[in-house]
C-alpha cells in the first residue's frame, strides 16, 4: 500500500471565485455574440476586484452587475470596488484564429484522462471530493453557520494499480462562524462518511480546520486569481496537466477546447478498448488548425491514432461537436471542469 493525496477547493475559495467571475463574463459575451474572442483574467483581494485581459466582441454587457451577481450567489456579502481593465484581443493573434482561418488560439499541450474507478470515469477520490464540494455549496445556502470559503483533501491508501482502498486522513478546512463548531464539524464528518460509505471506503481519521479556527476567509483572508487551480479543475494530479488554465477563455483557445476534447477521446477509448485507464495528449501551434500530435496512452500501452482523429481535433470541429458556444462555462468553473 502507498499513500497519495488529492485536493479540491470549494466554490467560495478566492481563486475559484475569480474563475467563476471570468467564466460568467465569458458566458455573457458569448450569449450576445458567438464570435466573441475572450481571455478574461480576474484578481480579487482586500475590497477590490480587478478585471483585465482581452475581449473582442460586439456584445455590450454590464460587467459590474454580472460580478455582483456571482459574488452574491457564492455567498460573498460585502461590496467590492470593481476595476475594469479589459482591452482588445491582439490583432496578431486574430490573424490566425478568426472564423475564416479557424486556427488554434494558442500553442501548447492539453491532456484528457478517464479511468474505470467510477461511473463518471474519474478517480474515486476525485469524485468523493467533488460530491462533498457540491453538497457544501448547497448546505451553506440553508445553514447560516457555514461560510463560503474552504477546501478539502484526501490522503488515501492505494494498491499497486492506484485504486483507493481506504482513507487515512480526510482533511477539511472550512470557513464558519466559529460559534457552532460542534454542530458544523459533525455536519461535515457525517457527509464525508455518507459519501464514502457508498463506495465502501473507510475513513481512519478526520482533520477538521487543523489550525483550530477559520472565520476570516474569502477576499478578506486571501487574494484570488483566475487559473490558479488548474490541478483541481482537471484530475487532481491523478493525470498530467498541460499547464494552461480554462476559465475566461473562449473555445477558440485550445487550452480549454483541446482539454475538453482530450477528455472525450479518453472516455471513448476507455470503453472501446476495455481499458482500466486512458490518457490523451493533444498539442497545437497557434494559428494552425490540426493538432501537431495526438498521443494516446493506456494500461495496455500506446494506442495507434487514426488520421481522422486529427481532423476531429481542429478547433472548429471541437467547438461544433461539443457545442462549446452554447454551454455554461460558469457552471464548469464551480466544482471542476470534469465531473462526468
Identify the active-site residue in 7, 137, 149, 255. Answer: 255
Active-site choice (11, 16, 37, 267):
16
| Residue 255 annotated in active site | yes
Active-site residue, from 11, 140, 236, 253:
253
Q: Which of 19, 41, 149, 289 is catalytic?
A: 41
| Whether 257 contacts 289, CB under 8 Å | no
**Contact yes or no for 96/167 (Cβ under 8 A):** no
Say which of 11, 140, 151, 263 is annotated catalytic. Answer: 151
| Cβ neighbours, 10 Å, residue 223 | 14
CA distances (Å), origin 93, targets 30, 97, 282, 314, 316: 19, 6, 20, 17, 16
Residue in 139, 223, 264, 316 annotated catalytic: 223
Residue 13 annotated to the active site: yes
In the residue annotation, 16 being an active-site residue is answered as yes
The question of whether 253 is a catalytic residue gets the answer yes
User: What's the CA gap between 29 and 111, in Å, rounded?
Assistant: 27
Residues 6+ away with beta carbon under 8 Å from 56:
36, 37, 38, 88, 89, 94
Order of strands, sheet of 146-158, starting from the edge strand that comes earlier in the sequence: 2-9, 146-158, 164-176, 203-208
Task: Decide if 222 is catalytic.
Answer: yes
Specify whether 250 is catalytic.
Answer: no
Q: Which of 37, 131, 236, 249 is catalytic?
A: 249
Euclidean distance between CA atoms 303 and 252, whole angstroms? 27
Q: Is 182 a catalytic residue?
A: no
Chain centroid, CA 162 distance in Å? 22
Would you call 297 a catalytic residue per the annotation? no
Catalytic-labelled residue, pool 33, 35, 54, 181: 54
Residue 249 a catalytic site member: yes
Catalytic residue among 7, 15, 23, 117: 15
Question: Is 214 labeled as catalytic in the residue annotation?
Answer: yes
Which entry of 11, 37, 228, 263 is annotated as an active-site residue? 228
Which of the following is catalytic: 111, 170, 214, 335? Answer: 214
Catalytic choice (11, 131, 229, 256): 229
Catalytic residue among 11, 13, 140, 263: 13
If we measure between CA atoms, which residue out of 217, 173, 264 comes closest to residue 17? 217
Strand partners, 37: 56
Annotated catalytic sites, by residue? 13, 15-16, 41, 54, 151, 214, 222-223, 228-229, 249, 253, 255
Amino acid at each position: 500500500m502507498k499513500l497519495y493525496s488529492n485536493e479540491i477547493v470549494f466554490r467560495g475559495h478566492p481563486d475559484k471565485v475569480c474563475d467563476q467571475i471570468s467564466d460568467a463574463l465569458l458566458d455573457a459575451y458569448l450569449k450576445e455574440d458567438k464570435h466573441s474572442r475572450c481571455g478574461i483574467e480576474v484578481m480579487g483581494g482586500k475590497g477590490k476586484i480587478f478585471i483585465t485581459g482581452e475581449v473582442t466582441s460586439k456584445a455590450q454587457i454590464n460587467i459590474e452587475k454580472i460580478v455582483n451577481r456571482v459574488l452574491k450567489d457564492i455567498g460573498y456579502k460585502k461590496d467590492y470596488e470593481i476595476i475594469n481593465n479589459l482591452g482588445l484581443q491582439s490583432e496578431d493573434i486574430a490573424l490566425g484564429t478568426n472564423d475564416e482561418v479557424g486556427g488554434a488560439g494558442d500553442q501548447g499541450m492539453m491532456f484528457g484522462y478517464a479511468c474505470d474507478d467510477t461511473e463518471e470515469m474519474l478517480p474515486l477520490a476525485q469524485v468523493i471530493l467533488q460530491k462533498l464540494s457540491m453538497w457544501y455549496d448547497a448546505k451553506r445556502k440553508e445553514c447560516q453557520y457555514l461560510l463560503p470559503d474552504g477546501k478539502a483533501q484526501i490522503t488515501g491508501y492505494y494498491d499497486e494499480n492506484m485504486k483507493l482502498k481506504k482513507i487515512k486522513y480526510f482533511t477539511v478546512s472550512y470557513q464558519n462562524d466559529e460559534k457552532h463548531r460542534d454542530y458544523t464539524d459533525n455536519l461535515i464528518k457525517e457527509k464525508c462518511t455518507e459519501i464514502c460509505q457508498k463506495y465502501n471506503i473507510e475513513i481512519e481519521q478526520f482533520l477538521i480546520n487543523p489550525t483550530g479556527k477559520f472565520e476570516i476567509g474569502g477576499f478578506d483572508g486571501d487574494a484570488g486569481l483566475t487559473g490558479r487551480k488548474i490541478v483541481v479543475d482537471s484530475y487532481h494530479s491523478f493525470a498530467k496537466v498541460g499547464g494552461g488554465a480554462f476559465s475566461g477563455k473562449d473555445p477558440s483557445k485550445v487550452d480549454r477546447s483541446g482539454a475538453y476534447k482530450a477528455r472525450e477521446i479518453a472516455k471513448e477509448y476507455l470503453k472501446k478498448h476495455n481499458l482500466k485507464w486512458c490518457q490523451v495528449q493533444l498539442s497545437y501551434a497557434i494559428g494552425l488548425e490540426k493538432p501537431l500530435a495526438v498521443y494516446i496512452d493506456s494500461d495496455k500501452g500506446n494506442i495507434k491514432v487514426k488520421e481522422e482523429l486529427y481532423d476531429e481535433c481542429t478547433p472548429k470541429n471541437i467547438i461544433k461537436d461539443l457545442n462549446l458556444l452554447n454551454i455554461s462555462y460558469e457552471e464548469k468553473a464551480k466544482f471542476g471542469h470534469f465531473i462526468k
